[in-house]
Amino acid sequence: MTRLAILARRTAVLVAFAVAANGAIDTAIAQSPPPAAPLSVTYRVSAGERQAHLVDVAMRIENIPASSQHVDLELPVWAPGSYLVREFARHVQDERAAIAGTAVPIVKTSKNAWRVSLPSASPGDGARSIEVAYRVYANELTVRTSHVDSDHLYLNGSNVFMYVAGAKSQPVRLVLRLPSDWKVATGLRSAGPDSPMTADLMVSHAFTAPDYDTLADCPIEAAPDLRILTFEALGKQHEIAIWGTGNLDTAILANDTKKIVEQTAAVFGSELPYDRYVFIVQLFPGGGGGLEHANSTVVQANPWGLQKKDAYRGFLELLAHEFVHTWLVKRIRPPALGPFDYSSENYTRMLWLMEGTTDYYGTLLVKRAGLMTEDDFWKEIAKQIGNLERIPGRKHQSLEEASFDAWIKFYRQNEHSPNSQVSYYLKGMVVTAMLDLEIQGRTKGAKSFDDVLRNLWATYGKRGVPVPEDGIEPAVEAAAGSDFTAFFDAYVRGRAEIDYNAYLVHVGRKLVAKAPKNDDRITPAPGAWLGATLGDVGGRTTVSSIVEGSPAWVAGLSVGDDVLAIDGYRVTATSLDTRLSDRGPGDEVRMTIFRREKLLELRVKLAARPADTYRIEKIEPDKEKKSNAD
Please report which residue ranges of 460-545 form alpha helices under DSSP H.
Answer: 472-480, 485-491, 501-504
Q: Measure the CA–CA gap between 322 and 289, rounded to whole angstroms.
A: 10
At 189-218, the pLDDT tens digits run 998 766 555 555 678 899 999 999 999 999
DSSP designation for 573: T
- Is the C-alpha dihedral spanning 433, 436, 438, 440 positive or negative? negative
pLDDT of residue 18: 34
Question: So what's the pLDDT on residue 57?
Answer: 98
Q: What is the pLDDT of residue 576?
A: 92
Share the mean pLDDT of the chain. Answer: 91
The residue among 194 and 262 whose pLDDT is bigger is 262
Q: Return d(Cα 465, Cα 505) in angstroms, integer.
A: 37
Contacts of 225 (CB under 8 A, 6+ apart): 151, 243, 245
Amino acid found at 427? K
d(CA 201, CA 89): 31
pLDDT score at 33: 46
Bridge partners, residue 192, by sequence: 206
What pLDDT, in 10s, does the model give residues 482-500?
999 999 999 999 999 999 9
Which of 308, 332, 306 shows the shortest CA–CA distance to 319?
Answer: 306
- pTM score: 0.90
From 103-107, 311-315, 622-626, the region with the lowest mean pLDDT? 622-626
Separation in Å, CA 604 to CA 343, 545, 588, 616, 623 = 50, 16, 5, 34, 47
* pLDDT given for residue 6 in this prediction: 38
**Least confident interval from 400-409, 524-533, 552-561, 620-629:** 620-629
pLDDT tens for 40-67 read 999 999 998 999 999 999 999 999 999 8
What is each CA distance from 487 to 18, 354, 425, 547, in whole angstroms? 62, 19, 18, 28
DSSP code at position 224? T
DSSP helix/strand/coil, 212:
helix
- Please tell me the predicted confidence (pLDDT) of residue 9: 42
**By the 8 A CB rule, do 155 and 220 touch?**
yes
**3-state secondary structure at position 255:** helix
Nearest CA among 260, 271, 257, 486 for reference residue 367: 260
CB atoms within 10 A of CB 190: 11
Distance CA 82, CA 105 (A): 34
CA distance 497 to 469: 24
Rounded to the nearest 5 degrees, what angle is found at the Cα of 448, between the Cα atoms of 292 and 349? Answer: 45
DSSP state of 102: E
Could you tell me the CA-to-CA distances from 1 to 40, 168, 170, 213, 341 in Å, in that order?
A: 11, 10, 7, 15, 18
In which element (H, E) is residue 11 found?
A: helix 3-20
Please spell the DSSP secondary structure of 256-279, one letter per residue.
HHHHHHHHHHHHTTS--SSSEEEE
| Triad 389, 394, 396: Cα angle to 5° | 150
- Predicted pLDDT of residue 411: 93
| In contact, 361 and 450? CB cutoff 8 Å | no
pLDDT over 70 at 569, yes or no: yes
Q: What is the dihedral of CA 428, 434, 437, 438, to 10 degrees?
A: -110
d(CA 431, CA 360): 9
Three-state DSSP state, 311: helix
- The residue-averaged pLDDT of 9-32 equals 36
Q: How far is CA 530 from CA 92, 578, 601, 603, in A?
A: 48, 12, 15, 12
Dist CA 243 CA 184 (whole Å)? 11
User: What is the distance between the alpha carbons of residues 378 and 384, in angstroms, rounded to a whole number?
Assistant: 10
Terminus-to-terminus CA distance in the chain, angstroms? 76
pLDDT of residue 627: 46
Instruction: Give backbone dihedrals phi and psi of 114, rounded to 5 degrees, phi first.
Output: -135, 150
Q: Which of 119, 159, 164 is nearest to 143 (CA)?
A: 159
Pairwise CA distance, residues 359 & 365, whole Å: 10
Q: Read off the pLDDT band of 5 (50, 70, 90).
A: very low
Q: Report the DSSP pairing between strands 92-99 and 54-64.
A: unpaired
DSSP per residue over 22-48, as a string? TT-HHHHHHHSPPPPPPPEEEEEEE-T
pLDDT (tens digit, 9 = 90+) per residue, 347-379? 999 999 999 999 999 999 999 999 999 999 999
What 564-569 contacts at long range (C-beta under 8 Å, 24+ apart), as own/partner pairs, is: 564/592, 564/593, 564/594, 565/590, 565/591, 565/592, 566/590, 566/591, 566/592, 568/592
CA nearest neighbour of 227 among 194, 255, 203, 251: 251
Q: Residue 17 belongs to what H/E stretch?
A: helix 3-20
Q: Three-state DSSP class for 551?
A: helix
Per DSSP, what are the bridge partners of residue 268?
Answer: none
Q: How confident is the model at residue 123 (pLDDT cuts 50, 70, 90)?
A: confident
Using one digit for the tens of pLDDT, what is the confidence trace for 303-313? 998 999 999 99
Residue 527 has pLDDT above 50, yes or no: yes
Query: Is the confidence at residue 424, as pLDDT, over 90?
Result: yes
From the number of C-beta atoms within 10 Å of its C-beta (0-12, 13-18, 19+), residue 264 rates as buried
pLDDT beyond 80 at 27 = no
CA distance 563 to 541: 6
Beta-carbon contacts of residue 337 (< 8 Å; ≥ 6 apart): 80, 329, 346, 348, 354, 466
Give the residue-averaged pLDDT of 226-247: 96
Q: What is the pLDDT of residue 31?
A: 41
Q: Which of 32-36, 389-393, 435-439 has the lowest average pLDDT? A: 32-36
**What are the pLDDT digits (tens) for 148-158?**
999 999 999 99
Q: Nearest CA to 398 among 488, 533, 474, 491?
A: 491
Q: Rounded to an integer, what distance in angstroms lies between the CA atom of residue 571 and that of residue 591?
A: 9
CB of 45 closer than 8 Å to CB of 133 = no
